[in-house]
């Protein structure tokens, strides 16, 4: 028994599944989760004193690596001024300005504490603004755990192979229309049938919660044009991709080039640099429908918390073009190393990308992965042995094949060499895997 095993035994008697977020439980890869007690740069340290090169980065936020000196210092100094005031603070405006400098079309921003709150509020705002009820979402996209968007969701819902969630009423589920990703005909059909009742289409800027899926060329622009032609809004969820796929998220790589800007963006993860902060932003005309200027209510005791604002401002300030260039280059190198190792063992696979975000899927080289059905049809059984081999070699991957691989600016040559050295054995384990 390791210390982590002991801690998990105890946690299981105290919390459902021993965890506070489902995929942390290692359910799809087996074994017991590592309990982490420390971090530094590209590394996590577990309760047994073993360190891991972290390729999860707290599921995205730690873009600069763990314990980045400037972020740590900003947080320490904010703590010294007090933990929460329950009032407006100067750093809220500083963070809003940093977001607006990067993303086009954000005239107003409202801070919340989690990505779920951001998308929940965006959905309510779209309904309040349009006076319509229906929301269109894509199968395999994850937007947090709000009732109306759990149908055919990605992330843990995909990992656990659930169709949706118990506890969501039929009435709520009926107000969400789920269509296959990258499928223009399905969008046209849903608007042809329900066009004047649809409040909004919500999409991940590039899906990264069913593994990464690359949006077809012009797909987001098509969504915007179709929604607008029917008086509906487009909500682009950049909670995962924002400030990570580029300085302006996936929109920076796609929207800026193809010429589309949604009515509303949602942000999370990197924007808080590891503390609980998220936000939604967009056109003033839409955003000003939020209270206190408008009739759509939304509030939060800890919204814009000063410690979280300090972490967010410091993180975005230090997320320079050099940081993105470095992560982009590392990502390419890692993709090639993973592919090379898998090819050497004859493991059929494909790699999907959205800027520096990528994921690996097994048995998919012929079709690629264009939607949730493709992602679900992969040889997912190869992932558990691959994951555990990497873990044994001191590399921490997401405990689910449906997640992206995350790098940071702190992943140096020494850390990456450990990853590269670990890959051949992991590829052999994947090659030897058989369906359960």
Positions marked catalytic: 142, 237, 269
What residues numbered 270-309 form the site for ligand PLP, per CB under 6 A? 278
281 phi, psi to nearest 5 deg: -150, 165
**Nearest distance from residue 309's CB to ligand PLP, in Å?**
16
- Beta strands 36-40 and 43-46: pairing type? antiparallel
Counting every residue written for the chain, the total comes to 436
- Is residue 108 within 8 Å of residue 294, measured between CB atoms? no
| DSSP per position, 165-196 | -TT--HHHHHTEEEE-TT-HHHHHHHHHHHGG
31 phi, psi to nearest 5 deg: 85, 180
Under rule CB under 6 A, residue 116 binds ligand PLP = yes
Q: What is the pattern of x (binds ligand PLP, CB under 6 A) and - over residues 130-169?
A: ------------xxx-------------------------
- Minimum CB distance to ligand PLP smaller for 379 or for 403: 403
CA dist., res. 392 & res. 428, Å (int) = 14
Lateral strand order in the sheet of 134-138: 108-112, 278-282, 264-267, 233-238, 198-204, 134-138, 176-179
- Minimum CB distance to ligand PLP smaller for 270 or for 423: 270
Number of residues that bind ligand PLP (CB under 6 A): 14
Residue number with the shortest CB distance to ligand PLP?
115
- Is residue 143 within 8 Å of residue 126, measured between CB atoms? no
For ligand PLP, which stretch binds (CB under 6 A), given 108-116, 185-193, 245-253, 299-307?
108-116
Map residue 353 onto helix, strand or coil. Answer: strand
CA dist., res. 119 & res. 143, Å (int) = 6
- Is residue 353 within 8 Å of residue 212, measured between CB atoms? yes
**Nearest distance from residue 176's CB to ligand PLP, in Å?**
15
Lateral strand order in the sheet of 36-40: 36-40, 43-46, 51-54, 395-396
CA dist., res. 373 & res. 156, Å (int) = 16
Map residue 233 onto helix, strand or coil. Answer: strand
- Minimum CB distance to ligand PLP smaller for 126 or for 239: 239
What residues numbered 219-258 form the site for ligand PLP, per CB under 6 A? 237, 239-240
- Minimum CB distance to ligand PLP smaller for 172 or for 197: 172
The tokens of 278 are what?
């998220």
For ligand PLP, which stretch binds (CB under 6 A), given 33-41, 110-118, 222-230, 255-263?
110-118
Report the residue from 42, 211, 252, 268 that binds ligand PLP according to the rule CB under 6 A. Answer: 268
**Nearest distance from residue 258's CB to ligand PLP, in Å?**
20
**Nearest distance from residue 403's CB to ligand PLP, in Å?**
9
Residue among 190, 189, 204, 93 at smallest CA distance from 153: 204
What residues numbered 170-209 form the site for ligand PLP, per CB under 6 A? 204, 209
- Minimum CB distance to ligand PLP smaller for 33 or for 60: 60
**Nearest distance from residue 70's CB to ligand PLP, in Å?**
23
CA dist., res. 182 & res. 371, Å (int) = 7
- Minimum CB distance to ligand PLP smaller for 75 or for 112: 112
Binding positions for ligand PLP, rule: CB under 6 A: 114-116, 119, 142-144, 204, 209, 237, 239-240, 268, 278
């Amino acid at each position: 028994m390791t210390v982590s095993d002991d801690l998990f035994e105890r946690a299981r008697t105290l919390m459902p599944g021993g965890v506070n977020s489902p995929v942390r439980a290692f359910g799809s890869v087996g074994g017991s989760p590592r309990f982490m007690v420390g971090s530094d740069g590209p590394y996590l340290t577990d309760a047994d004193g073993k360190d891991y090169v972290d390729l999860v980065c707290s599921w995205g936020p730690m873009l600069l690596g763990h314990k980045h000196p400037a972020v740590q210092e900003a947080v320490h100094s904010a703590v010294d001024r007090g933990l929460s005031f329950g009032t407006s603070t100067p750093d809220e405006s500083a963070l809003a300005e940093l977001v607006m400098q990067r993303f086009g079309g954000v005239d107003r921003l409202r801070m919340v504490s989690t990505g779920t709150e951001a998308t929940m509020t965006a959905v309510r705002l779209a309904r309040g603004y349009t006076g319509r009820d229906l929301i269109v979402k894509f199968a395999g996209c994850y937007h947090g755990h709000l009732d109306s968007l759990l149908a055919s969701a990605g992330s843990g819902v995909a990992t656990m192979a659930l169709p949706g969630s118990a506890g969501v009423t039929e009435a709520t589920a009926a107000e969400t229309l789920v269509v296959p990703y990258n499928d223009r005909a399905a969008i046209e059909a849903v608007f042809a049938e329900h066009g004047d009742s649809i409040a909004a289409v919500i999409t991940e800027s590039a899906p990264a919660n069913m593994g990464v899926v690359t949006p077809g060329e012009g797909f987001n622009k098509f969504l915007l044009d179709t929604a607008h032609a029917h008086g509906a809004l487009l909500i682009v969820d950049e909670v995962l991709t924002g400030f990570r796929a580029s300085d302006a998220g996936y929109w920076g790589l796609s929207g800026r080039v193809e010429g589309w800007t949604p009515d509303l963006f949602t942000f999370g993860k990197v924007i808080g640099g590891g503390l609980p902060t998220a936000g939604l932003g967009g056109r003033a005309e839409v955003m000003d429908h939020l209270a206190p200027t408008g009739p759509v209510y939304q509030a939060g005791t800890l919204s814009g918390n000063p410690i979280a604002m300090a972490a967010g401002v410091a993180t975005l300030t230090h997320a320079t073009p050099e940081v993105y260039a470095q992560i982009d280059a590392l990502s390419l190198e890692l993709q090639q190393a993973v592919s090379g190792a898998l090819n050497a063992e004859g493991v059929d696979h494909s790699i999907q990308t959205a800027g520096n975000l990528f994921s690996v899927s097994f048995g998919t080289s012929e079709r690629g992965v264009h939607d949730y059905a493709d992602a679900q049809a992969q040889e997912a059984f190869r992932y558990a042995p691959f994951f555990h081999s990497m873990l044994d070699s001191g590399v921490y991957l997401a405990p689910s094949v449906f997640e992206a691989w995350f790098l940071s600016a702190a992943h140096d040559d020494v850390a990456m060499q450990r990853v590269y050295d670990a890959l051949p054995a992991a590829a052999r384990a994947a090659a030897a895997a058989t369906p359960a």
